[in-house]
Amino acid sequence: MGINIVREIDNMVKIKNVIISVSNKDNLDDFVGGLLNVIPDITIYSTGGTFEYLKGIVDDRKRLIQISEYTKQPETQGGLVKTLDFKVYLGILTERYNPYHEEDLKRTGSVRFDMVVVNLYPFEKVISKDGSTIEEARANIDIGGPTMIRAAAKNYLRVAVVVDPNDYESIIQKLIKGNGALTLKDRFELAKKAFYRTAEYDKWISEYLAMKSEKDLVCYNFVDQK
C-alpha cells in the first residue's frame, strides 16, 4: 500500500473529542474550564491521574471518559501501558475525506479525535536531582506521550496538538474567536512546537544514557533465572 497524499482538508476544524493526558497539571483547571465554556458538548478522554484530577473539574460525567473504558483495555500496573491502542491512534491519524478511514472508524466503533493535550514524564527534572539513579531515569522515559504527540502533530491537517501549558490561554482565545474551531495555521504552528518538544525530549535521554556506564547499573539486583 502506498503513502496517502492528502489534497482535501478543512481549514476550520471544530473541536469535539479531546485526549488529555498530562504530567504537568499547571493551568489545567482554567484550560479545561475554558474548553467546557466554549464547547459545551465537548467530550474529554483521559488517563490515570489526569482522569482522577479532571473528575473534580468536569461535572457532567458524559463529558469525561476514561481511555481504558473507551478501549476496553485496563491500564497496565504503574501506568506502563495506557494509550498505546489501535482505537486511540485510529482516532488521531484518520484523514477526514478518506472513505477507507471512515469505514475503519465505523468498523471499530472509534471516535475521531480533534485535539491531543499531552505533556511528558519529567525526565529532565528527575535526572537533575542529586542522587538520582539510572533506574529512576529509565522509569521516567515516557513512551505513550511522545507517540501520541507525534501522531497528532503528523495529522495537523485535522488535529491540534498541545504540549505546553503556557499555550492554554491563547488556544482558548482562538477557540472563542473560531466558535469552537481552530484554523490550519493554528494546528500547523502547534505541530511545529510538538515535534520540537519530542526531539528535545529524546535528546535529553540519549545524552543522559551516553554519559552512563556499567558502574551506574549497581542499582539493580541480579536474579538468576531457573
Chain centroid to CA 206: how far?
A: 22
pTM of the model: 0.93
Rg (CA), the chain: 19
Chain centroid, CA 152 distance in Å: 8
pLDDT score of 68? 92
Give 218's Cβ-side CA count (13 Å radius). Answer: 3
Q: Give the pLDDT of residue 122.
A: 87
The C-alpha atoms of residue 90 and residue 95 are separated, in whole angstroms, by 10
**Closest residue by Cα to residue 113 from 160, 182, 150, 183:** 160
Q: What pLDDT sits at residue 83?
A: 78
Which set of grid coordinates corresponds to residue 33?
474550564
For the chain (length 226 residues), average pLDDT per consecutive 10?
A: 86 98 96 97 94 94 93 77 87 94 96 96 91 93 95 98 98 98 98 98 96 88 80
DSSP letter at 30 equals H
Longest Cα separation, the chain: 64
Grid coordinates representing 161 are 496538538
Residue 209 host element (H or E): helix 184-210
User: Domains in the chain, please, with CATH?
Assistant: 13-210 (3.40.50.1380)
The pLDDT of residue 1 is 62
Enter the C-alpha cell of residue 129. Answer: 536531582
Taking CA atoms, 18 is separated from 79, 99, 160, 195, in Å, by: 20, 22, 9, 19
